[in-house]
C-alpha cells in the first residue's frame, strides 16, 4: 500500500489552484507556460489537471484545479481525485489554497491508493507524493494502515474470513502491539462463561462461535472499550434472507473490522488509555441447532429476549458483549455494527448514525466528524419508543413489528445492556462503499473510526 515519500529527488511540482488563483498564476508564469495552460483550456475547475512540458521533454510541472467552495462541498478527498488523474510519477505538493484541510487531503491521497489483491494482483500504479513539512506524514501513514486493515478484513469472503480467521486477525493485531488477548471458543465454553446469546446465534454454524477479548495500555489509564459486531456471514437464519440481500453479507462483520482498525490507530499512535476490544465472532447459519422464531433467550445480563426474527441477530451478540464491557464501568464505551437497513434508508451508505445520551460526547463526535472528513449524524435514543421493544412474554423483543424507527429501536435494545458506563455511544454503519469515490475505493469501508479516534486523541 502507498505511503508518502520524503525525498524531493526527481519530484514534479504539483500546484493546486482554485478558481480565483489561476489568473494570478498565469500573470506570473512565462509566456510559453501561460500559452500552454490556456491552450489546454485549464480553468482550475475542481479535479482538472494539466501537465506542463519540461525542458527535457518530460513533465515539468502539473497544475490541478481546486474549483470553488460550492463544488468542493459536494464531496471530500479532492486531492485523491487529482491523484487518480495524474500520470505515474512522484510529485511534490506546492503551497496553495488547501489550507486547514491539508492533512485530511493528504490522507485522502493515501486512502485512494488502497488495493485489495488477495485473489487477483492489482497492479494499478499509485502516484507518490512528497508533502509539505507541516504535514505529519508518519501519523497519516498509520491512520491509512489502520483503514487498509479494516478494508482487507471486510473485503475477504466468508469462506476465508469466518470466525476462526477473524480470531487469527484479532490475535495477530494483539501480538503486534503486545496486547493481552483471550478467546472463549465454542458453544459449551460460551455457555459456561455466561454468554448464552453469542452461543445461540452461532450454534448452527460449522465454524464455532467465540468471544474475542483484547486489552492494551497501562492498567490505571482511562478505560475505553470498543465492541464490534463480528457476524462473519449472515444468512438471516431460519428467517432466511433473499439472495439479493445475502450477496453482501460478508460485510456483516464490518463493525468488528472497524473496531480492529480503531484499535490499530490507538495502539500505533500510543494514546494513553486502557483500551479493551470485544468482538463476538459468529456465523448466522442454518442447521438443526439454529435458533427459531419464537424462541426466548436469556442474556448475560439476565434479561430475556424473544426472537421474533432470526435475522436480527447482531443485537443479540452485541448485547452479551456490551453487558461484559459494562461490568467494569469504562469511561467511554462504543459499539460499532452493521446493524440495520433502516439506518441506510435514513442516511444512505456514507453517513452512519450515532446514538448517545452524553451531550459532551455527541458534541465532540460532531465536531471531529467534520474536522477529519469522517461524516456522522446523530439520531436519538428516543425513550418513548421503549414499549416497542417490550413484547410482554419476555423482557425484550429482538425485532419489533411494524418496521418504523428500526435504527432507533435497535439502539434502544442495546442501551438496555449498558447501565454502569457514564458515556455510551452506538454507531450503526454500512461498512461498504457501493461506488468508488475519491479516497474510497469500492468495497469494504472504514466508517466513523477516524472521528472516534480524533475524539480520543483530543481527550487523552
CB-based contact 377:283 (threshold 8 Å): no
Q: What is the pLDDT of residue 1?
A: 57
CA distance 178 to 140: 22
DSSP 26: H
User: Which are the contacts of 281, defined by CB distance < 8 A and separation ≥ 6?
Assistant: 163, 166, 167, 170, 209, 210, 211, 212, 230, 232, 253, 256
Q: What is the pLDDT of residue 55?
A: 84
CA distance 341 to 347: 10
SS3 278: strand
Q: What is the pTM of this model?
A: 0.96
Q: What is the β-pairing status of strands 396-397 and 377-378?
A: unpaired
Selected catalytic residue, list 61, 264, 315, 416: 315
CA distance 172 to 166: 10
Domain 141-459 in this protein, CATH class: alpha beta
Q: What is the pLDDT of residue 2?
A: 64
Q: What is the pLDDT of residue 275?
A: 98
Q: What is the pLDDT of residue 5?
A: 76
259-273 pLDDT, tens digit per residue, is: 999 999 999 999 999
User: Which are the contacts of 453, defined by CB distance < 8 A and separation ≥ 6?
Assistant: 143, 262, 265, 266
Q: What is the pLDDT of residue 295?
A: 98
Greatest pairwise CA separation for the chain in angstroms: 83
379-416 pLDDT, tens digit per residue, is: 999 999 999 999 999 999 999 988 899 999 999 999 99
Q: What are the residue boundaries of the structural domains of the chain, listed by start?
A: 12-134, 141-459
DSSP 331: S
C-alpha cell at 39: 491552450
DSSP 135: S
Per residue of the chain (460 residues), what is the pLDDT tens digit?
567 877 777 899 999 999 888 888 998 999 999 999 999 999 999 999 999 999 888 999 999 999 999 999 999 999 999 999 999 999 999 999 999 899 999 999 999 999 999 999 887 788 999 999 999 999 999 999 999 999 999 999 999 999 999 999 999 999 999 999 999 999 999 999 999 999 999 999 999 999 999 999 999 999 999 999 999 999 999 999 999 999 999 999 999 999 999 999 999 999 999 999 999 999 999 999 999 999 999 999 999 999 999 999 999 999 999 999 999 999 999 999 999 999 999 999 999 999 999 999 999 999 999 999 999 999 999 999 999 999 999 999 999 988 899 999 999 999 999 999 999 999 999 999 999 999 999 999 999 999 999 999 999 9
Domain range 12-134, CATH architecture? 3-Layer(aba) Sandwich (3.40)
Is 159 an active-site residue? no
Is 241 an active-site residue? yes
User: Which are the contacts of 345, defined by CB distance < 8 A and separation ≥ 6?
Assistant: none
DSSP 5: B
User: Which are the contacts of 286, defined by CB distance < 8 A and separation ≥ 6?
Assistant: 204, 235, 237, 238, 240
Q: What is the pLDDT of residue 403?
A: 83
316-to-97, 196, 245, 303, 320 alpha-carbon distances in Å: 49, 9, 20, 11, 7
Phi, psi angle pair for 280, to nearest 5°:
-75, 110
What sign has the CA pseudo-torsion 291, 292, 296, 301?
A: positive
**Would 12-134 and 141-459 be classified into the same CATH topology?**
no
CA distance 13 to 320: 55
Q: End-to-end CA distance of the chain, in Å?
A: 29
Range list of H helices, 77-208: 78-85, 102-111, 137-155, 163-176, 187-192, 196-201
Of the candidates 37, 48, 94, the one whose C-alpha atom is nearest the C-alpha of residue 71 is 48
User: Which are the contacts of 222, defined by CB distance < 8 A and separation ≥ 6?
Assistant: 272, 273, 274, 331, 332, 460
Selected catalytic residue, list 72, 115, 185, 241: 241
- Rg for the chain (alpha carbons), in Å? 24
CB-based contact 348:374 (threshold 8 Å): no
Q: What is the pLDDT of residue 342?
A: 97
Question: What is the CB neighbour count within 10 angstroms for residue 358?
Answer: 15
E runs forming strands in 6-125: 12-18, 49-53, 59-67, 90-93
Amino acid at each position: 500500500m502507498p505511503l508518502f515519500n520524503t525525498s524531493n529527488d526527481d519530484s514534479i511540482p504539483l500546484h493546486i489552484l482554485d478558481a480565483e488563483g489561476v489568473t494570478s498564476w498565469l500573470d506570473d508564469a512565462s509566456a510559453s507556460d501561460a500559452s500552454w495552460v490556456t491552450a489546454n483550456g485549464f480553468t482550475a475547475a475542481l479535479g482538472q489537471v494539466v501537465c506542463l512540458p519540461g525542458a527535457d521533454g518530460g513533465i515539468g510541472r502539473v497544475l490541478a484545479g481546486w474549483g470553488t467552495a460550492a463544488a468542493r462541498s459536494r464531496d471530500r478527498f479532492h486531492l485523491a481525485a487529482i491523484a487518480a488523474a495524474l500520470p505515474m510519477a512522484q510529485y511534490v505538493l506546492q503551497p496553495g489554497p488547501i489550507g486547514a484541510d491539508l492533512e485530511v487531503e493528504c490522507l485522502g491521497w493515501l486512502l485512494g491508493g488502497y488495493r485489495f489483491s488477495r485473489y487477483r494482483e492489482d497492479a494499478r500504479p499509485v502516484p507518490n507524493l512528497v508533502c509539505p513539512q507541516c504535514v505529519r506524514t508518519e501519523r497519516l501513514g498509520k491512520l491509512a494502515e489502520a483503514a487498509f486493515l479494516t478494508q482487507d478484513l471486510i473485503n475477504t469472503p466468508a469462506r476465508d474470513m469466518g470466525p476462526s480467521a477473524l480470531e487469527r486477525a484479532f490475535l495477530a493485531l494483539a501480538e503486534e502491539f503486545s496486547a493481552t488477548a483471550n478467546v472463549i471458543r465454542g458453544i459449551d465454553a460460551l455457555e459456561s462463561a455466561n454468554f448464552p446469546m453469542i452461543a445461540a446465534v452461532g450454534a448452527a454454524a460449522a465454524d464455532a462461535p467465540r468471544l474475542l477479548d483484547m486489552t492494551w495500555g497501562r492498567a490505571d489509564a482511562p478505560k475505553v472499550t470498543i465492541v464490534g459486531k463480528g457476524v462473519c456471514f449472515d444468512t438471516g437464519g431460519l428467517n432466511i434472507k433473499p439472495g439479493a440481500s445475502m450477496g453482501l453479507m460478508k460485510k456483516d462483520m464490518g463493525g468488528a473490522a472497524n473496531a480492529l482498525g480503531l484499535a490499530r490507530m490507538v495502539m500505533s499512535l500510543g494514546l494513553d488509555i486502557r483500551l479493551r476490544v470485544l468482538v463476538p465472532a459468529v456465523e448466522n447459519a442454518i442447521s438443526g441447532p439454529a435458533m427459531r422464531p419464537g424462541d426466548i433467550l436469556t442474556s448475560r445480563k439476565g434479561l430475556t429476549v424473544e426472537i421474533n426474527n432470526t435475522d436480527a441477530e447482531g443485537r443479540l451478540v452485541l448485547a452479551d458483549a456490551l453487558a461484559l464491557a459494562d461490568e467494569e464501568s469504562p469511561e467511554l464505551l462504543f459499539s460499532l455494527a452493521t446493524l440495520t437497513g433502516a439506518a441506510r434508508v435514513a442516511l444512505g451508505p456514507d453517513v452512519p448514525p450515532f446514538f448517545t445520551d452524553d451531550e459532551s460526547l455527541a458534541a465532540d463526535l460532531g465536531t471531529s466528524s467534520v474536522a477529519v472528513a469522517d461524516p456522522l449524524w446523530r439520531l436519538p435514543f428516543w425513550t418513548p419508543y421503549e414499549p416497542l421493544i417490550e413484547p410482554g412474554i419476555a423482557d425484550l423483543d429482538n425485532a419489533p413489528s411494524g418496521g418504523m424507527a428500526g435504527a432507533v429501536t435497535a439502539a434502544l435494545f442495546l442501551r438496555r445492556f449498558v447501565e454502569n458506563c457514564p458515556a455510551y455511544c452506538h454507531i450503526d454503519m454500512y461498512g461498504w462503499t457501493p461506488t468508488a469515490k475519491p479516497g474510497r475505493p469500492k468495497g469494504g469501508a472504514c466508517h466513523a473510526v477516524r472521528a472516534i479516534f480524533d475524539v480520543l486523541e483530543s481527550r487523552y
